Structure 1
């Protein structure tokens, strides 16, 4: 009897082992087909009753839609202990999705034996445990806000907001007066009639809303377009980017536009989608990774129109705001006074280094790129030959005579320039010796006896050429470096780095002498020169320029004591004479009650002496009493009528408005 019982027990053990192997094989087959997206093969594992409940096509479509919709990847299944009594294989599943990782340990794979094979008893719970027939898997996007760009006073220069779309309901619009309404719309919106007719022609359903243009919410055009639904003219709200409605800010702020195919391919982190808007120019582009928001995603089960369970959730990450040092009032004032002339202007606070204005003229309205450009605006851009496409505040210019401050300061600090020494200069041309051949330095003034103050006031090129030769190339190069020439200013915005010469040396006498009065090969930005003159208003120190304001930012000195105490008053006296004295080249900028130091400059752009080239006009001024602002402005092609005095007048008007 004991022997019989032993045999029975052995057989039962053998059968259990065989059964376990079959169940394991079933699970492994299920796993392999799910992981490899072989939904047709997965369907073949289903029991006959399960296959009667859902067709192969519906089964494949359901899995495909759900798994592709949630962007399932890296799917991994782990089998638990088999429940032979209830014929269930418990398992856990992990996968990566568009909303992050899904990790569930409550899956159950029920099975049944059919024709000596184990088959899966399938239901929606094998997609996700809580699912029932008729449930839907939804993917919801939580839109992240893009960070705002704020000026120094917290005013929004760029922010997310509500735009208004003007559109047409063709079925109603076409009922009567179609042509007249098209003409009226074209006139109000300042667009061509063809723009409207093309958009209407591209629409195939007369009951569809046909968008024509987007407008800012405070656009005066809206007053002529509201409450006209009965005529088929409609307005709808949409989210968009709104910029300060002022051309003065365009080149600085830039704009956002739809992401390109190339940019999308380069997005290894998978942050962007085909619908993403990204910075294409200006601060919007430079600070894209700071400003951009990363949309959140939720995957959830919906039953009868109601969310019943969240499967995965990735919270939206809103973009960060950036605050810049720009004074919006001053930025607008400078731009307006430049009156569309091609050029650049930069204003800084001498005592903090804060950049108060950073202007490129002409510029564009950033809202053109998030709403539309009117026909008049397009025509104007054509008339100025698209001059607004160049960012001039990031461009380098020859400084002309404005460089004489740096030559004078360097000579004083090195002891090679005696401010009261009188140089005797005869005529308006001079050369060191006959080795210069036909080349001469030329000046406009004709004074014979010239000391520093007169040389500055009358902008004597020969005097400064002589002094450059006396101090030598090494001293002038080091002096220029002290005034930020060749220094990476690192303001958080790409501005070309200035240079003393093309190769960094002044190894020829003519080049050295020319550099001394601001010609040669020296190239600077208006930021370089605004900083240089700020030393006159800040005890001889140049502060580190700041564009991006952070919570913990503290002003710091970039170049300390570039003008020593004993030389500061000498230079203040000389460069204030340019403005204060009636015969100074910048006297036009004199403002009663405000003491300014400054310098005019005319940079000749030509390949060789004797040629007729273009001229860029400069004026730089800094207020010595209050030390509120140092401003440098350059205007291109002043030989065409404006003249350098026109630039002086522009700066004066800015300072009158800002300081008074």
Structure 2
């Protein structure tokens, strides 16, 4: 009997349900995949369009910074003091040069390259990014540029760069006022990065290092621009796409009178010293001369190590700005202000007289404080004390006043503190006090210290600028201005802005005291250097000792070392009725103030007051 055939029953409903679920799952997967694809497309085409577009452009668009041209500097009469001159430099890109030594040898064969230039280049190469150009020679003549251009095909990775470089047409005449610019170094970059200003120096290689150039760097530098150009896969330029022009730095005008500055440097004639002249009507500095000086152009182009070492080790210290950093005992130049304090305090009156036998003693003490006139001046009042510069009078006055009153009063004239002049290179000097000596030397203040301060000696030191500013307050009868070098600056609309910083005036209890002191200074001038002048002037000389002479010893200028000779000083202003110029002169180790600094003061005032109005300075 044959086997029975098995019959399979199909559940069509179940199969249909299973197929439907599988179809829905497959469709859902397709939808999800399409959604993911569309999402990625949206992300690429919309959300990240800018990012990927920029990346694409970076492969074909090169952005080159365009450095701004530096602002020019003029004197108060519009004479150009700092300009920009075209220059050519030889630049090498290390990563494009296969054999650096062979390249350097080949360049030296056609262009004069000193051993020092090559050595400096080699040293800089060790810490330099290989894809950035590095300067081998900073000053190429037009002949050298032409020679290299003919041979450039033999030196891949070497190019001549053209640009503008700072130039100071008057050389060392204005160095300590103008300062100079130099190449940006690592310290400059760190400072710019900390201040968030590094981006403003894209393409810029120079920055202000000293003086006005440094103080007004943000104004003079300007803002960089940029150039966008399309390049091929080899980096060669195809076309320029966009140019954003740089914003040039602002031009500035100084209060400096170039002709007067030139006269000051001529009178100093390389001797160690300083001359400062101020316009008392607004505090503008007319002359800021420090001698000896140096040519700032050598720092712009890159000073050699040997030349810098010579400046640094020079015993006359030409790198120091004596006008603002030199610290000298003011000596008798501050006697008028001491007398003014005595009148204000009531320690003396206009008619008070003392007897001067040629010395003064602290009561109960044997030590004698000698007057410069060994036989004395006899009876002396406030007028004669200034006109004859009687030391004994001021020994006695200082004893009556005490150091606290002296220090507090002199501080109001700017002694012992920065003048806030618009250059960074400034010393504050020393206006001694009890607290100052205890903090500095951990010693008490002795009465003998006060006696020395009474004639502008002892611990008291001042800068020529401080001395001129204090004399300006006397000439102005209490009106005070912050000394400044900036007169005006150019604005975008072409107008000029003149900053003036007037401080609260110094008010006396008895304004007549101003007239007493100024009249005594006028008598001093009439009695000596200005008795035949065509204008009225006021002055006070000073002779500052740089070492102490023993009690019974005699100062012998002919038999001591030059660096131990007295400093010669003078302060003066004119015209007496309405002053337009105040000056201070300091000559180091020159001897007697009246004989040595006096003729310089007379020549300076003659130059400024009697000059022809249309006469212009020469380069």
TM-score, length-scaled by structure 1: 0.69
Task: Give 3-state SS (helix, strand or coil) of 2:174's partner.
Answer: helix
Whole-angstrom distance in 2 between the partners of 1:563 and 1:149: 44
- Are 1:324 and 1:548, in contact at CA under 8 Å, matched by a contact in 2? yes
1:442 matched to 2:392: no
How big is the shift at 1:382? 9.1
Q: Which residue of 1 aligns with 2:572?
A: 621
Residues 337 and 473 of structure 1: is their aligned pair in 2 closer, same or farther, counting only changes over 3 Å? same
Deviations for 1:564-611, whole angstroms, at most 9, x for unmatched residues?
531232222211121212xxxxx1344522111111101111257458
Whole-angstrom distance in 1 between the partners of 2:316 and 2:348: 46
Whole-angstrom distance in 1 between the partners of 2:245 and 2:117: 38
- Are 1:295 and 1:316, in contact at CA under 8 Å, matched by a contact in 2? yes
Runs of 5+ unmatched residues, structure 2:
1-12, 91-103, 122-134, 151-159, 438-443, 489-496, 556-563, 611-619
Whole-angstrom distance in 1 between the partners of 2:80 and 2:144: 27
Whole-angstrom distance in 2 between the partners of 1:558 and 1:410: 19
Q: Which residue of 2 aligns with 1:647?
A: 597
1:631 matched to 2:583: yes
How big is the shift at 1:299? 4.1
How big is the shift at 1:250? 0.5
Residues 199 and 287 of structure 1: is their aligned pair in 2 closer, same or farther, counting only changes over 3 Å? closer
Whole-angstrom distance in 2 between the partners of 1:236 and 1:137: 22
Residues 227 and 308 of structure 1: is their aligned pair in 2 closer, same or farther, counting only changes over 3 Å? closer
Q: Which residue of 1 aligns with 2:164?
A: 239
Residues 53-132 of structure 1 mapped to structure 2, 5 A cutoff: 80=42, 89-93=44-48, 104=50, 127-128=55-56
How big is the shift at 1:12? 2.0
- Are 1:491 and 1:548, in contact at CA under 8 Å, matched by a contact in 2? no
1:16 aligned to 5, 27, 31, which one?
31
- Are 2:480 and 2:506, in contact at CA under 8 Å, matched by a contact in 1? yes
Root mean square deviation, CA, Å: 4.2
Q: Which residue of 1 aligns with 2:350?
A: 419
Q: Which residue of 2 aligns with 1:188?
A: none
Q: Which residue of 2 aligns with 1:255?
A: 180
- Are 1:487 and 1:498, in contact at CA under 8 Å, matched by a contact in 2? yes
Whole-angstrom distance in 2 between the partners of 1:341 and 1:491: 25
Q: Which residue of 2 aligns with 1:452?
A: 382
Whole-angstrom distance in 1 between the partners of 2:517 and 2:314: 40
Whole-angstrom distance in 1 between the partners of 2:255 and 2:120: 46
Residues 245 and 165 of structure 1: is their aligned pair in 2 closer, same or farther, counting only changes over 3 Å? farther
Residues 644 and 308 of structure 1: is their aligned pair in 2 closer, same or farther, counting only changes over 3 Å? closer
Task: Give 3-state SS (helix, strand or coil) of 1:483's partner.
Answer: coil
- Are 2:65 and 2:202, in contact at CA under 8 Å, matched by a contact in 1? no
1:409 matched to 2:359: no
Q: Which residue of 1 aligns with 2:86?
A: 162
Aligned length: 525
Q: Which residue of 1 aligns with 2:224?
A: 295
Residues 126 and 647 of structure 1: is their aligned pair in 2 closer, same or farther, counting only changes over 3 Å? closer
Structure that is richer in strand per residue? 1
1:142 matched to 2:78: no
1:483 matched to 2:413: yes
TM-score, length-scaled by structure 2: 0.73
Which fold has the larger relative contact order, with Cα–Cα distance below 8 Å and residues 6 or more apart in sequence?
2
Residues 402 and 160 of structure 1: is their aligned pair in 2 closer, same or farther, counting only changes over 3 Å? same
Residues 198 and 283 of structure 1: is their aligned pair in 2 closer, same or farther, counting only changes over 3 Å? closer
Task: Give 3-state SS (helix, strand or coil) of 1:323's partner.
Answer: strand
1:594 matched to 2:535: yes
Whole-angstrom distance in 1 between the partners of 2:408 and 2:285: 25
How big is the shift at 1:531? 2.1
Q: Which residue of 1 aligns with 2:558?
A: none
Runs of 5+ unmatched residues, structure 1:
28-78, 82-88, 94-102, 108-124, 183-194, 204-208, 216-221, 582-586
1:493 matched to 2:410: no
Residues 172 and 526 of structure 1: is their aligned pair in 2 closer, same or farther, counting only changes over 3 Å? closer
Whole-angstrom distance in 1 between the partners of 2:470 and 2:318: 27
Residues 159-558 of structure 1 mapped to structure 2, 5 A cutoff: 159-163=83-87, 213=139, 238-268=163-193, 269=196, 270-271=198-199, 272=201, 276-302=205-231, 305-307=237-239, 309=241, 316-371=246-301, 385=315, 387-395=317-325, 396-426=327-357, 428-435=358-365, 437-444=366-373, 446-494=376-424, 495-501=426-432, 503-504=435-436, 507-550=445-488, 551=497, 553-554=499-500, 556-558=502-504
How big is the shift at 1:317? 4.3
How big is the shift at 1:649? 0.9
- Are 1:264 and 1:273, in contact at CA under 8 Å, matched by a contact in 2? no
- Are 1:149 and 1:324, in contact at CA under 8 Å, matched by a contact in 2? yes
Whole-angstrom distance in 1 between the partners of 2:399 and 2:251: 51
